[in-house]
Chains A and B, each alone.
Chain A
Amino acid sequence: MKLIKIALTKGRLEKSIIKMLEEVGLDCSELKDKGRKLIFHDNINSVDFVLAKANDVLTYVEHGASDIGIVGKDTLMEADKNFYEVVDLKMGNCKFSIAALPDFKLEDGYNIKKIATKYPRVAKDYFRQQGMDVEIIRIEGSVELAPILGLADAIVDLVETGETLRENGLVIVKDICNISARLIINRASMKMKKDEITELIGKIQKYVEE
């Protein structure tokens, strides 16, 4: 058995991913009792896990430092990197949406609209596809503030329940696309460790479908 290195995204999705990995037969006992460690072994199968920030998962998998990664579609869309994106895990479901104060109208007027977002590439690509010229302002956190403070006309952000928007008096203007967690594979690993990896993909695919 060749060693398979899996990079998982820290945070929100961690629990449901670990549950899935256990269901498909991996030993996640070290992962569940992690302390300050960064790398964890599966004591039964030839598998190592690391926990990393979403963007780092992409970097590790793209360079082949990890063979497999589990990461949100939002991060994938923003990064535009090269790997196989084999399974939609149907977890961590949410969507990219355009939101603004209630009086905002997307198609109104000829002035360039200002859009604040944590995802400039996603926003730029979407508006370019729509043939709209917008000015994008990158914000690092709490994007909802931007229209309230008058910095931007609207925002592009991930929306899960819409609660934060509502509490801050913003409404969804339009949904861009649905987002969920994905299983990604390094291109070389897929070829060099085909048997091990396709077996795991098969099991995960089955788990997702059930």
Chain B
Amino acid sequence: MNKWKRYIPEGTRDILFEDCENRSYIEEKLRELYRKNGYNQVISPTLEYYDVFSGEYQPLPQEKMFKLFDNNGRILVLRPDMTTPIGRIAATKLKTQPLPLKLCYNASIYRINEDWNGRFSEISQSGIEIVGIKGSRADAEAISIGIKALEEVGLEDYKIEIGQAEFFKTLMDETKLTQDEKEALRRIVEHKNFTSLREFLAENSENIEDDAMDILGKLPELFGTIEVLDYARKLTKNKKALQALESIQEVYDLLEKRGFASHIVIDLAMVQHIYYYTGTIFRGYSSEVGEYILSGGRYDNLIGQFGEELPSTGLALNIDNIMLALKKQGKYTPRNNANFLLYYEDSNIGRSKILTSKLLDLGFVCEQSLFTNEEETRSYQQAKGIINLIIFGKAEDLIIYNMNTKKEKTIDQREFLEFIGGKHEID
């Protein structure tokens, strides 16, 4: 009957000890960074109506959302994305607030994955949304916060790639391709599939202007350092496409002035979700993880579906992937273990309280023994590997046992406190 009693669902996990601590540490660092930069936190419900996420700007296909029904038979989903709910909030509850809104969040999102492919259904995301403003300054701010966030948590060796959703869309507008053909071409470009691209362009040459032909043929190669932009400018005369390139340049210049240029690369063939995004888009990668560690971009049309036209941009950091990268770079804080285990009879509770608060002030981690006898306390110390055991003796005496040196000595409480200063072990 209780076949699954001891198990957790596919794609979920229990997060324990050092994983938990490192995650909280990262989340706190990020929250602090957002707060210091003037972002206000919002928390939205885990359950939302399916309608919020359906339609033209659907963040992912319906079969990838976890669904259930409310008491009235309406379809609910576990939120598959944070930007859409924040858009909903901005267009409803916050519509009288001064713009731009600077919002931040830290939440789990839920997506259905194929079984057995090593992906999680519950993904921890932290990020910002800048709502109600256009322009490169906002775009650059979203990317800067992303870079600062990675620096703040201590990640090294990462790159942020910048692209422009309008660039490809504009080039498409110039062609006479059908919607299906455009989608086929988008997929080819997304996969940097040079062979198929050449074949596709040859087959559809009469529907594509010569000017577009040149640049489309080179599109998958148009990634790398900022020089790519100069090269791309020579390949097209399309005004809107040139404008899109110019907007990347503007964002790049702003980031360069902040000293972030060494982390930035350009990819003009970033064409994922180009119907959702409307301007500068970006993704962050680290050498240690095969997937992106952060992503974001400008989405000027998304919030319109909630009744307010609010051009916006945002950033989402994938906490799980950042943790993985940090772990592989050896920047993981080990599991927190107590420095002291305190054992005392009930009559000594008052004394122990004073000593504990002094030890805590000095930055030590102290566990109170919950056993009622010394014997069990001693074996607990061994099993848990807590270096120092303090037993409260008569009067002001403390008996201290160090499990590494296996030495035990009796010391006066005041003397002990003077002695201890900044040391973790007592010999």
> Could you tell me if B195 and A186 are in contact, using CB atoms closer than 8 angstroms?
no
Q: Which residues of B contact A151 (CB under 8 A)?
A: none
> Could you tell me if A85 and B286 are in contact, using CB atoms closer than 8 angstroms?
no
Stretch at the interface among A22-30, A38-46, A62-70, A108-116: A62-70
> Could you tell me if A83 and B224 are in contact, using CB atoms closer than 8 angstroms?
no
The contact of B291 among A64, A86, A190, by CB within 8 Å, is A64
Q: Given the interface contacts A63-B118, A194-B224, does A188 sit within 8 Å of B192 by beta carbon? A: no
Q: How many residues of B contact A (CB 8 A)?
A: 23
The contact of B285 among A62, A85, A192, A205, by CB within 8 Å, is A192
> Could you tell me if A191 and B195 are in contact, using CB atoms closer than 8 angstroms?
no
| Chain B residue at smallest Cβ distance from A62 | B290
> Could you tell me if B290 and A64 are in contact, using CB atoms closer than 8 angstroms?
yes
Scoring B residues 84 to 114 as 1 if CB is less than 8 Å from chain A, else 0, what string do you get? 0000000000000000000000000000000
| Chain A residue at smallest Cβ distance from B321 | A188
Q: Which residues of A contact B192 (CB under 8 A)?
A: 84-86, 185, 190
CA distance A64 to B321 in the complex (A): 12
> Could you tell me if A188 and B292 are in contact, using CB atoms closer than 8 angstroms?
yes
Q: Which of B67-83 contact A (CB under 8 A)?
A: none
Q: Given the interface contacts A59-B117, A187-B292, does A192 sit within 8 Å of B287 by beta carbon? A: yes
| Closest Cβ–Cβ distance, residue B61 to chain A (whole Å) | 12
Q: Which residues of A contact B291 (CB under 8 A)?
A: 63-64, 187-188
CA distance A192 to B265 in the complex (A): 10
Q: Given the interface contacts A188-B285, A192-B285, does A87 sit within 8 Å of B194 by beta carbon? A: yes
The contact of A63 among B191, B223, B290, by CB within 8 Å, is B290
Q: Given the interface contacts A187-B290, A192-B286, does A83 sit within 8 Å of B191 by beta carbon? A: yes
> Could you tell me if A88 and B292 are in contact, using CB atoms closer than 8 angstroms?
no
Scoring A residues 70 to 95 as 1 if CB is less than 8 Å from chain B, else 0, what string do you get? 00000000000001111110000000
The contact of B290 among A188, A194, A205, by CB within 8 Å, is A188
CA distance A192 to B283 in the complex (A): 12
Chain B residues within CB distance 8 Å of chain A = 117-118, 157, 159, 161, 191-196, 220, 223-224, 265, 267, 285-287, 289-292
Q: List 21 A-B contacts (CB under 8 A).
A: A59-B118, A63-B118, A64-B291, A65-B290, A83-B191, A85-B196, A87-B194, A87-B195, A88-B196, A187-B285, A187-B290, A187-B291, A188-B287, A188-B290, A188-B291, A190-B192, A191-B159, A191-B161, A191-B285, A192-B285, A194-B265
Give 13 A-B pairs besides A86-B192, A86-B194 with Cβ atoms closer than 8 angstroms.
Answer: A2-B287, A59-B118, A62-B290, A63-B290, A65-B290, A85-B191, A86-B220, A186-B290, A187-B292, A188-B291, A191-B161, A192-B157, A192-B287
